[in-house]
Amino acid sequence: MKASISINGYEVDTRIPLSICAIFLFLNKLLHSWIIDEFTRNEHRIPDFQDIPSVEFYDMSNYQGHKDGWNQNNRILICVPLKDASNALPLFFKTLEKMTYPHELIDLSFLVSDSSDNTMYNLLNMLKRLQIDGGTSGKFGNIEIYEKDFGQVIGQGFSDRHGFAAQGPRRKLMGKARNWLNTVAIKPYHSWVYWRDVDVEIIPETILEDLMHHDKDVIVPNVWRPLPDWLGNIQPYDLNSWKESEAGLALSNSLGEDAVIVEGYPEYATWRSHLAYMRDPNGDPEREMELDGVGGVSILSKANVFRSGSHFPAFSFKKHAETEAFGKLSKHMNFTVIGLPNYVVWHIYEPSKEDLQYMAKLEEKERLKRNDPDEREIYEEKWDDKFKYEVTDWQTEKRSILLESKIKPETEKPIDWSDNSVDDDNVPFLDLDLGSEPFRADIMHL
Ligand SMILES: Nc1nc2c(ncn2[C@@H]2O[C@H](COP(=O)(O)OP(=O)(O)O)[C@@H](O)[C@H]2O)c(=O)[nH]1
Ligand SMILES: [Mg+2]
């Protein structure tokens, strides 16, 4: 660079003025950015409202949700919708107590609707045991219970709920119920929201951490269910988690605007890739699969997803409603929606009408056999052995399922028959505590 200029024939050296200029410019810039910084910092400074009663301030950048939320004091809200859920509550609370996520960082919100089986009474009993009488596992944070009926007339029997005609209205109504719950329950200080159905039988104790560390906006595990011997062993349960297909889109386009597609019914052939069928029992539990629709049994979501306006459409959104539409809507809003094909939680087995009829037939056959004098002798001789065999069989199966789900198989626990135990009369399958009871015996109870 030329270091001098000629003025009136004199050569003037510009090196010094130029460097002074540079220093001046630099200082000017520094000052400028300091002023801007100071200005904007003032805007974000935490206001001091201490003198004004009842004012709360939240800097929402503090509640984004970390992938190791348990180390970062991330509060998580567990939302649980309940309808005629007395039977399943003991099971739910058992899995809740065992969660390894710091209990003091977990808030609980329940919505009880349209129930006629003392769900509220049993819920209160379980909560009392959890927060007052119980002790070792650590107290949970805030607990809220909401009660609101939505006029759900479809029964909670397996066949009532799963009939094709019931699906559209049921999903829309459930969507409404979930929205009521999420809009009243999520507080500004929640970083994560975990939606859990009450009727889950086996679930890893580390479920929250296991889902959270993937750092996705919406994430679900695979959901299967155990089956009694005569039906086969285990079966995919939740078909609502899937990736969209060409056939699915074509079907959507062919339906009226209020239609709701539901998976698993011959009326709607979508040929979608279902998370449930992607399971490899020996596969990597960390494996991820992009999804469009999600099932509601166990959804972990960043609270920001709901704060940004995603929800459970109680109307047809892209020909879906409730949780499947929540997946589609969240994806539409550019949130990440992920499923884990090889990470499984186990829904309870509930017999359908046909199963119950078949079981009744089996029982009748057994009864006739017992009454036949010739058969009786053989029967009595064989009974103990046969029963032992069934029990051992289930114990072995259950052990392998538990091992696969990384839950430690339990040692036998004595049953609490005291008056303080849960209202046994109202809880016909309290014995779903499969840690100590043979599965087959439980099915016979139903
Ligand atoms: N608040 C509310 N909860 C419901 C209603 N129907 C079902 N539930 C609850 O929602 C969860 C999922 O319901 P469930 O019948 O098990 O669904 P499925 O397993 O997909 O057939 C469970 O915790 C039920 O107790 C309803 O109408 N209102
Ligand atoms: Mg269920």
- Ligand 1 pocket test: which of 119, 196, 197 has the largest number of ligand atoms within 8 Å of its C-beta? 197
| Domain residue spans of the chain | 4-44, 72-347, 360-445
8 Å CB contact between 275 and 339: yes
3-state percent breakdown (helix, strand, coil) of the chain, nearest 5: 45, 15, 40
Weakest mean pLDDT among 34-43, 64-73, 176-185: 34-43
Which is it for the CA torsion 75, 83, 118, 237, positive or negative? negative
Superfamily per CATH, domain 72-347: Spore Coat Polysaccharide Biosynthesis Protein SpsA; Chain A (3.90.550.10)
Quote the radius of gyration of the chain (alpha carbons, Å).
30
3-state secondary structure of 421: coil
Task: State which H helix or E strand residue 145 sits in.
Answer: strand 143-147
pLDDT at 387: 53
More confident residue, 329 or 354: 329
pLDDT tens digit sequence for 197-233: 999 999 999 999 999 999 999 999 999 999 887 777 8
Q: Is the CB of residue 201 below 6 angstroms from any atom belonging to ligand 1?
A: no
Instruction: Give the separation between CA 175 and CA 321, rounded to whole angstroms.
Output: 7
3-state secondary structure of 72: coil
**Going by C-beta distance under 8 Å and a sequence separation of 6 or more, which residues neighbour residue 360?**
none
Q: Strands 242-243 and 273-274, how do they pair?
A: antiparallel
Q: How far away, in angstroms, is 370 Cα from ligand 1 center?
A: 40
Which DSSP symbol is given to 418?
S
Q: Is the CB of residue 82 below 6 angstroms from any atom belonging to ligand 1?
A: yes
Count Cα atoms within 13 angstroms, Cβ side, for 226.
27
pLDDT tens digit sequence for 260-286: 999 888 889 999 999 999 999 999 999
| Rounded mean pLDDT, 415-436 | 32
Q: Is the CB of residue 314 below 6 angstroms from any atom belonging to ligand 1?
A: no
pLDDT tens digit sequence for 71-107: 999 999 999 999 999 999 999 999 999 999 999 999 9
3-state secondary structure of 427: coil
pLDDT tens digit sequence for 361-400: 887 887 787 777 776 666 566 555 555 555 555 556 555 5
pLDDT over 50 at 431, yes or no: no
Give the nearest ligand 1 atom to 82 CA.
Answer: 25
pLDDT tens digit sequence for 131-171: 887 666 779 999 999 999 998 766 767 666 667 767 888 99
Q: What is the pTM of this model?
A: 0.75
